[in-house]
Amino acid sequence: MLTKKDHKRYADLLHGFAEQSIVVVGDIMLDRYKEGTVYRISPEAPVAVLDVEKERYATGGAGNVAKNVVALGAYAVLISAMGVGTKSQQIYDAATKEGYDCSYLFEDPQSKTTVKTRHIAQGQQLLRVDDNGYISDSAREKLLQNFESVLRVATGVIVSDYDKGVLSMEVVRKIKALTTPNIPILGDIKPNHARWFEGVDMLSPNEKEARAYINDLEVSVEEVARMVAEQYNSTVFLTAGSRGIFVSHCGDAVEHIPQLHRFEVRDVTGCGDTAAAVTMLAKLSGATLNEAATLANAAAAVTASKIGAVAPTLAEVLDMLSS
């Protein structure tokens, strides 16, 4: 339980989020949710039959990061590309409702939109179906032009890599070159692209990704965090689910910030995006490494207590800190 003084400190940090302006660049996708009830097992095969009662849409991938930033009171602009057609229009519609700036999100006729469809019954996810897309070279060129245009408003940059084609080694190289030293970059990235991000300010892998970064499945999670931070010359916030977050700065001693909050885990979808957004906003607002990890733990707990990739609000994070 936090002391009154500590609670005020975290409240002040959270309210400082409103002063931040985050550029999110990465893979946008459409999250589709088909929700209903299962009453029976199919006579054709031993599988549940979902009677769909409603369908809803949200933006996923980098869109979910931007959605989290806005829900926490900051400004976010998303830089990404997608295909053309109905699915892309659904992304636009969802992004508009979610409240972040999508004026630099564009359609490209040579690209295909990624869609993730989750089937949910009685509050439990039954199945996820992925229809993976791709991004053209010409779309990446336009994306970089857009990135350079919006940097003037940025206090921080989050690169959200879902390996759907928006990022390439050249794109990442130019993002790093264009971003001035006073604007920190946080990379939330897939292992096969990790080396592109050496030297960025912060990395936020989960444990499985971090082990792949260093190709080591045997050492302790603390040692994994230290090795990633040292090898990638970065501050690492390694998220480890119910165990919390392990923090190391450029290979320094590892600090373990345990997940102490009491909550029912309903769906871990989007927890990594939430942790990345909060980590960046907290550091920009003056948090120490431990304070940033503590806030990220609380925010991820809020997200995990809900169905789907749901962004927490400042009030919900404050309530979780008190739990």
Identify any residues that bridge with 255 across adjacent strands, giving them in sequence order: 247
How far apart CA 114 and CA 307 sit, in angstroms, is: 21
Instruction: Identify the active-site residue in 6, 27, 273, 319.
Output: 273
* 92 CB neighbour count, 10 Å cutoff: 14
CB burial of residue 31 (10 Å; 0-12, 13-18, 19+): buried
301 in Cβ contact with 263 (< 8 Å): yes
How far apart CA 16 and CA 287 sit, in angstroms, is: 10
How many Cα atoms occupy the beta-carbon half-sphere of 7 within 13 Å? 11
For the chain, give the number of residues. 323
108 is catalytic: no
Identify any residues that bridge with 96 across adjacent strands, giving them in sequence order: none
Query: 3-state DSSP call for residue 55?
Result: strand
CB burial of residue 73 (10 Å; 0-12, 13-18, 19+): middle
The catalytic residue positions are 273
